[in-house]
Amino acid sequence: MKDGNRLLLTDRREAGRLLGRALGRYAGQGNVIVLALPRGGVPVAFEIARALGAPLDVLVVRKLGAPGQEELAVGAIASGGIRVLDAELVRSLGLTREAIRRVEAREAAELERRERAYRGDRPPAAVEGRTVIVVDDGVATGSTLVAAIAAVRERHPAAVVAAVPVGPAATIARLGQLADEVVCLATPSPFRAVGEFYSEFGQTSDEEVRRLLAAETHATPALGSR
Identify each DSSP E strand in the chain by its residue range: 2-3, 6-7, 32-36, 56-58, 61-66, 69-78, 82-85, 131-135, 159-166, 181-186
Is 85's pLDDT higher than 90? no
Is 94's pLDDT higher than 90? yes
Is 56's pLDDT higher than 90? yes
Least confident range of 54-58, 84-88, 155-159, 163-167? 84-88
Question: Residue 182 contacts by C-beta under 8 Å, 6 or more apart in sequence?
Answer: 161, 162, 163, 164, 172, 175, 176
Angle at which helix 97-119 crosses helix 206-219, to 10 degrees, equals 50
Nearest alpha carbon to residue 12 among 185, 219, 188, 221:
185
What's the pLDDT at 160? 98
What's the pLDDT at 42? 97
HSE-CB of 64 using CA atoms within 13 angstroms? 26
Which residues, in sequence order, are bridge partners of residue 36? 58, 135
Round to whole Å and give the CA distance between 147 and 63: 9
What's the pLDDT at 219? 55
What's the pLDDT at 122? 82
Which residues, in sequence order, are bridge partners of residue 3? 6
- Average pLDDT value over all residues in the chain: 89
Nearest alpha carbon to residue 164 among 3, 10, 12:
12
Decide: residue 129, CB within 10 A, 0-12 exposed, 13-18 middle, 19+ buried: exposed
Is 218's pLDDT higher than 70? no
Round to whole Å and give the CA distance between 214 and 201: 22
Q: Could you report the per-residue pLDDT of 158-198, keeping only the tens digit for each?
A: 999 999 999 999 999 999 999 999 999 999 999 989 999 99
Q: Could you report the per-residue pLDDT of 8-54, keeping only the tens digit for each?
A: 899 999 999 999 999 999 999 999 999 999 999 999 999 999 999 99
Confidence band of 86 (pLDDT split at 50, 70, 90): confident
Round to whole Å and give the CA distance between 128 and 146: 19
Round to whole Å and give the CA distance between 182 and 172: 7
Report field, pTM of the whole predicted structure over 0.95: no
Is 216's pLDDT higher than 80? no
Is 61's pLDDT higher than 70? yes
Could you tell me the CA-to-CA distances from 55 to 80, 143, 220 in Å, in that order? 21, 25, 6
**In the chain, count of helices (H) and strands (E)?**
7, 10
